[in-house]
Structure formats: C-alpha cells, structure tokens
C-alpha cells in the first residue's frame, strides 16, 4: 500500500514538473505587467521570416491589450520572405496602437522587406550610420531565375504595394518605387531629406523624446503620442519562438539536414547502433520543420539525397572513385541550390558549405574505404577461414590420417603421404574432412 502511494506521488510530481516545463517553454522574457500606460519595445534583428512576423503581430496585440502609448520596433534586417513581410505590414497598418519603427542601432539596415515594414510604420526613424532601401524582389524559378514575364509581374506588384503604403503614411512614394525597381539604397541623413523617414535618433530614449507630442493616424482615429519619459518594457520572444528563430537560420537548417542524412545512413548501414539513428531522426525532423519557414529548392534536396545514394552504391559496386566523385559534386551543387533567397533573405554561407561538404565527403569516403577493406580481408571463421591454415600431422596421412589445426584434431586426406609430425597446409574443406598438402621449407602462415 505504501509503495502504491509513493508511486502515485512520484507520478503526480512528474506531471507537475512536466506542466511547469511546458509553461516555461512558452513563456516570454518580459517584465512585470504594466500598471500605467508605457511603451513596449521589441527587437527584430534578423531576416523577416514567419517567426519574426508572428512575433511582431503578437507584440502589436500585446500593446493593444495593455493600452500602451506606442510600440517601438528596433529593426535591423537584410530582408526576408515576401509573405512574412506582408503579414507584418498588414498588422502594422491595422494597429490601434502607434507603431514606431526605429532602424538602429548605428550600423543597422532596413533592406528589402525591411523597407516595406519601415514605410508602414506610423513613425519611421533611423539612427545615424544606418541605411534603407535595396528592395528589388528576387525570385527563383527554373534554372535559378524567374522568366522575364514573371519578373515584371513580381516587380510591378511590389511597386504597387510599396507606393500604396507610402501613400497611406504620406512618405516619398517615388523614391520607394526606385528602391524596388532599381534597388537604390540611402543612408539616414538622405532618407530624412527625401522624406523617406520622419526623424533621426541615436537611441530609443532620444527617439521617445523627439516623437513626444507627434500626432498620428491609427485605425482607431487620431492619436497624440505622449512618450517623453515613458517606461519602456521589452516584449521578448517566447522560448518556443527563440528556438524556431534559430532553426529558421539557413545555416542551422542546412547542418541539421546533413546531420540527419549522416545519422540515418549510419543507422541503416550498422543496424542496432541506435544513437546515430536517434540523432539523425531528430535532426532530420528539425530540418524539415525549418524548411517550412525557408525557401527550399527541391532540386537541391534531391541532389543531396542522390549524393548519398551514389556513396552507398560505391560500396556495393566499386567504380574506382567515379561514383564517389559524382557524389561529392552532387553534394556541393545540392548545398548551393538548397535554399532560394528572396527579398534579401540570407542563404547558406560558403564558409559553412565548404567545410561541411569536405567533412561529409570525407566521412563517406572513409566508410567506403573501410567497407572495401573488409571485403578484401581474408576470412577468419567458417569453412573459408580454414583454408591456408598450417597444422601438424598427428597420425600419418596415407592417404587419410589426422592433423591438428587451431588446437583441434581433424580427419585429413592428402594426395601424397605426409608423415607424423610434419606440417601440412589446408587447401580445402570437404564436409568435416580437411584436404591438405605437405609444407616444404619455411612457413609464414599462422601455425597452430
């Protein structure tokens, strides 16, 4: 009875621990709930992906529910996915709370998709030493580029979208069109002169002082900003979003995919190893999940899988290295083609691809060498393992006698008589009888 109670308590404790872990996984790195209206700040410092767009949308909802004075978005992005950018800009345009986009700190940029998000803000600001623009859409089609008709369609669609956003906010629509059509980019001072942004601020406190008293138009009506001296609360990503954001990095997704291929290959070639299969399976699932948030080329995936197939075939059908060379080429091309960057979204770095391809190719080449070496190795067990062994004649073989091989006495036969105490080499095995021949001179083989 006591054991049952103790077991029940352990189960309840584990359940409670699990619930706490789940709760912690979904929590955000935020301060205590705000009692008075304040300014909420978020940081978007990477490519615009479904994770970052969802983060911005949730921050807008948080600002609305907390009746915040404004939402400040610290933006530093090379661009990102068109679909994610449009989700973010729609949320900003439809926000009841003023959204202030600040391209900072110094050295930051709002390139490509970042331009659209900055243009959509109720207040657009930049730090000194930052730049904005270079928003020409980049798409990938058959052969690596869109055909000319699709290029014009995508470009015209992006131009119409950015002009509509600039028109809503009263900003320079002509320059925004040039940023899309001609990929022009300008620094903060020029952006202020051309009325692309509203002001320049070195940091967030200065930004809040400069926008204090500014009148903006939200979907709820005219709103006057009161931000001077306001409390700033950071609205961080949840643990889940941080993990998804890391996985959305093309370099991480690429390495996970490679680890998945290697782990599964090793498990299939060495059944029962377990650990490589577990690690490979987890890595492959995480990689496939990351692929959902990235622009993946199926041609790149197929080339990488073909590389593995060629390496495996090399083990079964030796081609003097031809299949291995083909596998390395497929692996390299597949790695280069795996992702299709759009709107400035970064792809896999060559600094990651080259070492990864070399290490992966080296792994498979070593595995192939070990397999070929094992195939050429002389058998040491069974009937084949007996052939070539040297034994000592126990009873004269004439034509049948007995011989001691590997510490065991066997019945043996020979074409010519072999006297007791002489050495004999096994030439074949006939059921349980050895066929031997006399050994003349020195013996280099194993002698038992």
Residues annotated as catalytic (active site), given as ranges: 112, 153
Cβ-Cβ contacts under 8 Å for 217 (sequence gap 6 or more): 122, 223
Q: Which value, to the nearest 10 degrees, does the dihedral of the CA atoms of residues 32, 37, 38, 39 take?
A: 120
Beta strands, E only, 183-297: 185-187, 199-200, 215-218, 221-224, 232-238
Which segments of 56-119 are extended strands (E)? Answer: 70-75, 99-103, 109-111
Handedness of CA 148, 303, 343, 71 (dihedral sign): positive
* CA–CA dist 136, 184 (Å, integer): 9
Q: Which H helix or E strand runs over 245?
A: helix 239-247
214 near 161, Cβ under 8 Å? no
Answer whether the bond into residue 27 is a cis peptide, omega within 30°: no
Please state, in angstroms and rounded to a whole number, the distance separating the CA atoms of residues 311 and 141: 29
Distance CA 44, CA 72 (A): 11
């Amino acid at each position: 009875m006591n054991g049952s109670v103790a077991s029940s308590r352990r189960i309840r404790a584990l359940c409670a621990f699990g619930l706490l872990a789940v709760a912690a996984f979904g929590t955000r790195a935020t301060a205590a709930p705000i009692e008075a209206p304040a300014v909420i700040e978020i940081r978007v410092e990477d490519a615009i992906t479904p994770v970052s767009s969802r983060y911005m949308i949730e921050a807008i909802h948080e600002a609305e529910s907390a009746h915040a004075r404004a939402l400040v978005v610290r933006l530093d992005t090379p661009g990102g996915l068109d679909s994610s950018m449009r989700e973010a800009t729609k949320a900003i345009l439809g926000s009841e709370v003023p959204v202030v986009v600040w391209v900072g700190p110094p050295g930051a940029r709002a390139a490509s998709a970042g331009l659209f998000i900055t243009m959509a803000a109720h207040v657009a600001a930049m730090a000194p030493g930052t730049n904005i623009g270079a928003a020409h859409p980049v798409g990938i089609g058959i052969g690596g580029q869109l055909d000319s008709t699709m290029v014009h369609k995508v470009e015209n669609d992006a131009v119409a979208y950015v002009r509509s956003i600039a028109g809503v906010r009263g900003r320079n629509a002509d320059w925004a069109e040039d940023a899309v059509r001609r990929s022009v980019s300008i620094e903060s001072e020029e952006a202020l002169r051309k009325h692309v942004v509203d002001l320049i601020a070195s940091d967030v406190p200065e930004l809040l002082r400069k926008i204090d008293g500014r009148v903006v138009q939200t979907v709820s009506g005219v709103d006057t900003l009161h931000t001077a001296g306001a409390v700033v609360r950071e609205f961080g990503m949840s643990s889940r979003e941080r993990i998804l954001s890391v996985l959305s990095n093309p370099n991480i997704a690429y390495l996970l995919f490679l680890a998945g291929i290697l782990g599964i290959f090793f498990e299939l070639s060495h059944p029962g190893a377990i650990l490589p299969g577990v690690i490979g399976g987890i890595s492959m699932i995480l990689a496939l999940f990351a692929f959902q948030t990235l622009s993946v080329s199926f041609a790149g995936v197929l080339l990488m899988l073909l590389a593995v197939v060629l390496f495996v075939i090399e083990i079964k059908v030796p081609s003097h290295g031809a299949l291995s060379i083909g596998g390395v080429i497929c692996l390299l091309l597949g790695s280069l083609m795996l992702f299709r960057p759009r709107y400035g979204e970064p792809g896999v770095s060559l600094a990651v691809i080259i070492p990864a391809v070399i290490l992966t190719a080296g792994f498979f080449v070593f595995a192939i060498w070990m397999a070929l070496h094992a195939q050429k190795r002389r058998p040491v067990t069974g009937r084949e393992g007996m052939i070539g062994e040297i034994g000592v004649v126990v009873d004269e073989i004439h034509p049948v006698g007995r011989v001691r091989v590997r510490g065991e006495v066997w019945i043996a036969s020979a074409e010519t008589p072999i006297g007791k105490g002489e050495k004999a080499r096994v030439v074949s095995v006939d059921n349980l009888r050895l066929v031997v021949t006399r050994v003349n001179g020195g013996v280099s083989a194993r002698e038992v």
